[in-house]
Every structure is written in C-alpha cells, then in structure tokens.
Chains A and B, each alone.
Chain A
Amino acid sequence: QVQLVQSGAEVKKPGASVKVSCKASGSIFTRSYMHWMRQAPGQGPEWMGKINPSGGSTTYAQRFQGRVTMTRDTSTSTVYMELSSLRSEDTAVYYCARPLEGGSSPFDPWGQGTLVTVSS
C-alpha cells in the first residue's frame, strides 16, 4: 500500500520561500507521477503541478509558473515542492498525491497535508 508522508507545518514571512517534502513508501517510487495540490481555507483543492520521479520532468499550472519548483530525490523516494515570493494568499494546506492508475486518473492516495502560513 502506497503511503505519502509530508513534512511539518511552516510559518513564513511575505516574500520568503517554502519547501515542502513528500516521502513515498510501499511502491516503486518511479512508477508514476507525483502531483501537488493546495487548499486554501474554505475552498476546494487547486492543482499546482506534477513531477515525473523517473526523469524529473515537470509540468506546472500556469498561475504558478515562475514561482514553483518541483524536484525529486530518488535515493530517498522523496519529492519536493518549493514556492517562492510568498504572499498572504499562499496560506493553505499543501498536499502531494499520486494517480490511482495510469492515464486519466483521480488522485489516491494523498499525503496528510502541510499547512503553510504566510504572515508578517
């Protein structure tokens, strides 16, 4: 059974960067993409982008282009999401998730979430 374990909560000042990790266990790390979503208070999840753990290629949502960087470390089966130039609107819970199956697929499982608070 695939498990995704994320790093702990972060508090950042406006203009800073945050780097969230997601460690996968229970399956072959390079088998499928890893996706990142975020969820602001009271809102639905928002897709941010994905990374191919095998080769490291990435696809980002247009609204995060230039501010988000996704990387991976195959030696530890961990992916990272770094968001820069933080503003108060970036306060949200950030999730990693894997596709349930290949091709067009919903997300299952999800990590437990990482709360990022941006406040001066």
Chain B
Amino acid sequence: DIQMTQSPSTLSASVGDRVTITCRASQSISSWLAWYQQKPGKAPKLLIYKASTLESGVPSRFSGSGSGTDFTLTISSLQPDDFATYYCQQYNSHPETFGQGTKVEIK
C-alpha cells in the first residue's frame, strides 16, 4: 500500500496567516491526490483533487500544488471557518490511502 505522510501534525496559526501543509507519498502517485477538510463530528469535505483542481464552491484562498511524491495545500489567508483537520488522500492505486491529518488550531 502507498503510505501518505503529512506534516506538521498540528499547526497553530492566527486569522489572516498564510498556512502550508505538506503531504508526501511513499511512491509516485502522479497528480492523483486530493485534500479534504474535516470538522469535529462531520464527514470529510473534498477541497482539491488532481493535486490542484479546486472543487466547486471551495473558496479561492485554498490552493494545491505538487506532483510525483510531494504535495502542498496552502491557505492564503486563514479564516475562522478554516480551523479544522486536513487530510490528503492518494487515488493513484488501490487501496486508496489517507494521511494521518494536520490539525489547524487557533494560536
């Protein structure tokens, strides 16, 4: 199985900050990577797929980049609604696998 490793595990930031989360795959996954946002008690919500394609309705302050094994999720200006846990997921090969998550906390 492809292992997905996110860093950091926890990130403390303030409203208005630029935030970057990284995700590394244990082998090349081309651009078959998605990012999800999850809030407590809710299902994951798709933000970005194909590494950099913004899902419909997702604010433009979210962006994704990368290919191969290294990927990033950037929030250009953190908003109060963005405090949540973020997961990356590869869908290049079965089984689809997820990172362990990055929790974005209020500083």
Contact = CB atoms under 8 A, between A and B. Distances in A.
Contacts of B96: 35, 47, 107
Given A44-B99, A46-B98, A59-B94, A106 B43 contact: no
B89 to A, nearest CB: 6
B44 A110 contact: yes
Interface string A44-63: 11110000000000010110
Contacts of B32: 104
A44 B92 contact: no
Interface string B38-49: 000011111001
A109 to B, nearest CB: 8
A106 B89 contact: yes
Interface string A94-120: 010100100011111011110000000
A104 B92 contact: yes
Contact of A106 (B42, B91, B95): B91
A43 interface: yes
A44 B101 contact: yes
Contacts of B42: 112-113
A70 to B, nearest CB: 14
B55 interface: yes
A47 B95 contact: yes
Contact of B43 (A35, A100, A105, A112): A112
Interface string B20-61: 000000000000101010000011111001000001000000
Given A100-B46, A112-B43, A106 B34 contact: yes
Given A43-B100, A44-B101, A106-B49, A61 B95 contact: yes
Interface of B: 4, 32, 34, 36, 42-46, 49, 55, 87, 89, 91-92, 94-101
8 contacts: A35-B96, A44-B4, A44-B99, A44-B100, A59-B94, A100-B49, A107-B34, A111-B43
Q: Enumerate the 4 nearest inter-chain pairs by beta-carbon distance, A residue then B residue, closest first.
A: A106-B34, A110-B43, A44-B98, A108-B46
